[in-house]
Amino acid sequence: MRILVAGGAGFIGSHFVKRLLEAGDEAVVLDKLTYSGNRANLPQDVEFVHGDIAVPDDVARAAHGCEAIVNFAAETHVDRSVLSAEEFGHTNFRGTQVLLEHVRQAEIRLVQVSTDEVYGDLEAGGSSRETDPLNPSSPYAAAKAAGELLVPAYVRTYGVHASITRGSNTYGPNQYPEKFIPLFVTNMLDGEPLPLYGDGRQVRDWLHADDHCAGIELILREGGPGEIYNVGGDNEQTNIDVAEKLFALTGADRSLLRRVDDRPGHDRRYSLDTSKLRALGWAPRVPFEEGLRATVDWYRDNRDWWEPIKSGEYRAYYEQQYGARLSTSSPA
């Protein structure tokens, strides 16, 4: 198959492109190369179109000859959406609509990559099922929910073939160091303070990028129109427990851990019921301890990937996000 991977220069999208190429498929990448997009995540010879999913001509140019689009393109960071939500509406909602218009006219398939964050948090026990109502808490999650709500509407109204995936917190190589695991790992390797939000007892369900991509690939090949699939790691961990595992792997000094003011609207816990995707034959394969060890090794061995990022635009963002919070922080 020839497949357009929108947002393919980002973290998960680039793993997906490599996976398609290994499977013998043809991949074309459409990416705007925002702060988190990086050509260095991709093989040099991959077909690449520099453009915006919210611009119909860019999408038509990139999707020429493709049988399907898999959409990873998004503004993805909750903390940035708290600082400024404008771009989140543009890409996560408007961009998804432009892609749907294209697949409708070209009569090709779409897989919309969404997130467990659209369910909002589950304070008590239990796990979210695909039929549960959406209850997003952050501007990021709300814009993702708005984008994905267009999908069943286009399926029902126009008969397009489109499916939705809702993945849980993903980790692995090439993740932009604003997110929890790569931020903590790279700060540990540099002996920098580690900003732990609130009490650190929030729970995330960690999924390796390879397992996330395997789920999306299966849904691309076998997913039904209008169907939604949770893709979760069955691996709920508190943030403080993840930090402890990272201390053990990096050997960093525990005194780097700082308790900082919590994120506004911070979701307490996510948990996914994955029985629907498991019934298609998928299961997460990478044990957390192994995946985390390999990820730490990757960041240790690939400073040339992340050091330029951390000395660029990232510095201003980091100062705005953490400067005041770290100066009033306490040891955790």
Show the tokens assigned to 146.
Answer: 């708005």
Task: Determine, following the binding rule CB under 6 A, whether residue 231 of this chain makes contact with ligand TYD.
Answer: no
Stretch that binds ligand NAD, among 59-67, 69-77, 182-190, 297-305 (CB under 6 A): 69-77
Catalytic residue status for 227: no
Instruction: Please list every residue from 6 through 45 that binds ligand NAD, using CB under 6 A.
Output: 6-7, 9-13, 30-34, 36-37
Task: Determine, following the binding rule CB under 6 A, whether residue 256 of this chain makes contact with ligand TYD.
Answer: no
Task: Determine, following the binding rule CB under 6 A, whether residue 169 of this chain makes contact with ligand TYD.
Answer: yes
Distance of CA 288 to the CA centre of its chain: 17
Stretch that binds ligand NAD, among 19-27, 70-78, 149-157, 248-256 (CB under 6 A): 70-78
One of 58, 75, 116, 148 is an active-site residue; which one? 116
SS (H, E, C) the chain: CEEEEECCCCHHHHHHHHHHHHCCCEEEEEECCCCCCCHHHCCCCCEEEECCCCCHHHHHHHHCCCCEEEECCCCCCHHHHHHCCHHHHHHHHHHHHHHHHHHHHHCCEEEEEEEHHHHCCCCCCCCECCCCCCCCCCHHHHHHHHHHHHHHHHHHHHCCCEEEEEECCEECCCCCCCCHHHHHHHHHHHCCCEEEECCCCCEEECEEHHHHHHHHHHHHHHCCCCCEEEECCCCEEEHHHHHHHHHHHHCCCHHHEEEECCCCCCCCECCECCHHHHCCCCCCCCCHHHHHHHHHHHHHHCHHHHHHHHCCHHHHHHHHHHHHHHHCCEEC
One of 52, 79, 119, 140 is an active-site residue; which one? 140
**Pick from 195, 223, 232, 284: which binds ligand TYD (CB under 6 A)?**
195
Q: How far is the CB of 29 from ligand NAD (least distance, A)?
A: 9
One of 117, 121, 205, 217 is an active-site residue; which one? 117
Catalytic residue status for 86: no
Task: Determine, following the binding rule CB under 6 A, whether residue 73 of this chain makes contact with ligand NAD.
Answer: yes
34 binds, among ligand TYD, ligand NAD, none (CB under 5 to 8 A by kind): ligand NAD
Task: Determine, following the binding rule CB under 6 A, whether residue 208 of this chain makes contact with ligand NAD.
Answer: no
Task: Determine, following the binding rule CB under 6 A, whether residue 295 of this chain makes contact with ligand TYD.
Answer: no
Contact string (CB under 6 A) for ligand TYD, positions 62-101, x = contact:
----------------x-----------------------
CB closest to ligand NAD, residue no: 10
Q: How far is the CB of 15 from ligand TYD (least distance, A)?
A: 17
Catalytic residue status for 178: no
Q: Which residues in this chain contact ligand TYD in the complex, by CB under 6 A? A: 78, 117, 169, 179-180, 183, 195-197, 202, 204, 239
Catalytic residues: 116-117, 140
